[in-house]
Amino acid sequence: MGLTYQSSGKGALREDYLNYNVKGDYVIALAGNPNTGKSTVFNALTGLKQHTGNWPGKTVVQALGNYKHGQKQITLVDLPGTYSLLANSPEEQVARDFICFAEPDATVVVVDATCLERNLNLVLQVLEITHKTIVCLNLMDEARRKKIRIDVPALANQLGVPVIPTAARNGEGLTLLKDTINSVAADKTELTPMRLIYDASLEVAIRELAEELDPLLPPQINRRWIALRLIDGDYTVIDGIRKFLEKKMVKEVFAS
């Protein structure tokens, strides 16, 4: 055992985060603000094939479901509805740790087309963690009724990830959403996620800290994001890392 991190295969932590033996091809996370239609999308995609329980160590409800699309078996994880991934309620920690540490093959952020601006805060926070993101622009029927028009290609262009308009309650847009999930999960969609640039001094600090973190973290963990959290004084992220690393190290010690 050296001091550097050795990877022991993709998604080894999923089970730890899910209390569930994941089979199939892809694991997809569903995130979003409260009341944007996540569960409606989840139910429409998975039907009644659901497994519910609690997140390990938390009293936050966890729902998992499966579906098949384009020859792929997909596990969908309905994350708790949150306005943020950073304010550290148990729900936010669950959503954040899952997106950051459990390596979903794609994260779908369900947003409310009738109050898009508010919802984009979470989209940007997710993009800061993972580029494998899809925006599900839900409640399009409501937006049309309220005469709200959204320039979807411009939005997708600016965010640098796919934006799929849907009205999940009547099934509108869900086939395209499933196609897009498969494409992003298989790395077949070009992604150029919008990146938030901070003050020059902060950018220097982020780069220096990220470099120091580099040998300590598993390869797929986003160093920039971890550095940002540490600079923010958010030590709950260390708990996540510790949980992640110690479990992996124990596995490696027993394996060697």
Partner 1 sequence: MNTMIGNDTLVSLGVGQRGVVTALATEGIGRRRMLDLGFIPGTIVESVRRSPAGDPTAYFIRGVMIALRSEESSKIFVNPV
In the complex, the residues that contact Mg ion under the rule CB under 5 A are 38-39
Gyration radius of the chain over CA positions: 18
CA separation for the pair 8, 129 (Å, rounded):
21
112 binds partner 1 (CB under 8 A): yes
CB of 110 to partner 1, least distance (A): 15
| 26-32: strand order across its sheet | 50-54, 61-69, 72-78, 26-32, 106-112, 133-138, 163-165
Residues 71-110 that bind partner 1 (CB under 8 A): 83-84, 86-88
How many C-beta atoms surround the C-beta of residue 152 within 10 A? 16
Instruction: Provide, rounded to whole angstroms, the least separation between the CB of residue 81 and Mg ion.
Output: 6
141 binds, among Mg ion, ligand GTP, partner 1, none (CB under 5 to 8 A by kind): ligand GTP
Contact flag: residue 124 with partner 1 (CB under 8 A): no
Taking the C-alpha atoms of residue 148 and residue 157, their distance in angstroms, rounded to an integer, is: 19
Binding of partner 1 by 115 (CB under 8 A): yes
DSSP bridge partners of 27? 75
Work out which of 39, 121, 183, 222 binds partner 1, going by CB under 8 A. Answer: 121
Q: Which is nearer to Mg ion, 80 or 240 (CB)?
A: 80
Decide if residue 114 touches partner 1 (CB under 8 A): yes
Residues of this chain that bind ligand GTP (CB under 6 A):
32, 34-40, 81, 138-139, 141-142, 167-169
> Which of ligand GTP, partner 1, Mg ion, none lies near 139, with the C-beta cut-off 5 to 8 A by kind?
ligand GTP
17-23 CB contacts, 8 Å cutoff, 24+ apart? 17/55, 17/56, 17/97, 17/98, 17/101, 17/102, 18/56, 18/62, 18/64, 18/77, 18/102, 19/53, 19/54, 19/55, 19/56, 19/62, 20/51, 20/53, 20/64, 22/75, 23/73, 23/75
Which of partner 1, Mg ion, ligand GTP, none interacts with 36 (beta carbon under 5 to 8 A by kind)? ligand GTP
168 binds, among partner 1, Mg ion, ligand GTP, none (CB under 5 to 8 A by kind): ligand GTP
Binding positions for partner 1, rule: CB under 8 A:
83-84, 86-88, 112, 114-115, 117-118, 121
